[in-house]
A = this chain, B = another copy of it.
């Protein structure tokens, strides 16, 4: 199976893209809702949690791992790759590659959790491709709780988004990377506040494309993956609010199984 995990339910935006582009494959998702959010925690703590999450997915039969969480991708990809001998995909590189392809002026904005932005990974990866690129970042720690509360269309959310984006707007970026899997759920507000001419890069779509290409060129891995079109969703804590948000993301009725890790 394809194993996908996140600190909570934001990573379901990646599942949503996989269902669109790779819907035939069996998928297993794990959201660490008992310890969510990761984005305000230290790299050491995040890396320890991420390895436990990966262990869980592998124990359930995952043969490739997709880190559907920018915080984990930023600070723990190397630990996971070093520990497990299976293909591991993260959301940063595909988003960076897509952003560089899409940009004309090479003026990039990146928004994410504090842990992601502090890691500096987007700037590093963009400049590896184009050393002259300008990269401006902003940590937006309140957006995850706003999304998890389902405040997608509230005036306060729009005001907070505007405040966070202001420093990027004045830098006249032409491409904005949504460096957190929760943010595609605020896509409309973000587009409105940053301006219609700025291209928005959604890492969920980018990583799905990457995995699709990988499977097309690695048939020995591809044939190990089962294809009954089944998706199983596990979380470490089950509450009504988590269920509600999960349904808002996937736009259908879902059942969340409880996993103790």
A interface list, Cβ under 8 A from B: 33-35, 40-42, 45, 114, 141-142, 145-146, 148-149, 151, 155-156, 159-160, 163, 236-239, 241
Contacts and interface: CB of A to CB of B under 8 A. Distances in A.
Contacts of A45: 34, 236-237
Contacts of A145: 141-142, 145
Given A156-B156, A159-B156, A160-B156, A42 B141 contact: no
Nearest to A157: B156
Q: Nearest 10 pairs between A and B by C-beta?
A: A145-B145, A45-B237, A35-B35, A41-B237, A34-B45, A42-B239, A156-B156, A42-B237, A156-B159, A156-B160
Q: Considering residues A33, A156, A238, which has the most beta carbons from chain B within 10 angstroms of its beta carbon? A: A156
Nearest to A8: B40
Question: In the assembly, how many copies of this chain are there?
Answer: 2
15 contacts: A33-B41, A41-B237, A41-B239, A45-B237, A114-B239, A141-B145, A141-B149, A142-B142, A142-B145, A142-B146, A142-B151, A145-B145, A155-B159, A156-B159, A159-B159
A45 to B, nearest CB: 5
Given A142-B145, A149-B142, A241 B40 contact: yes
A40 B42 CA distance: 21
A36 to B, nearest CB: 8
Contacts of A148: 40
A249 to B, nearest CB: 16
Contact of A41 (B34, B142, B146, B163): B34
A239 to B, nearest CB: 5
Given A141-B145, A146-B142, A149-B142, A42 B238 contact: yes
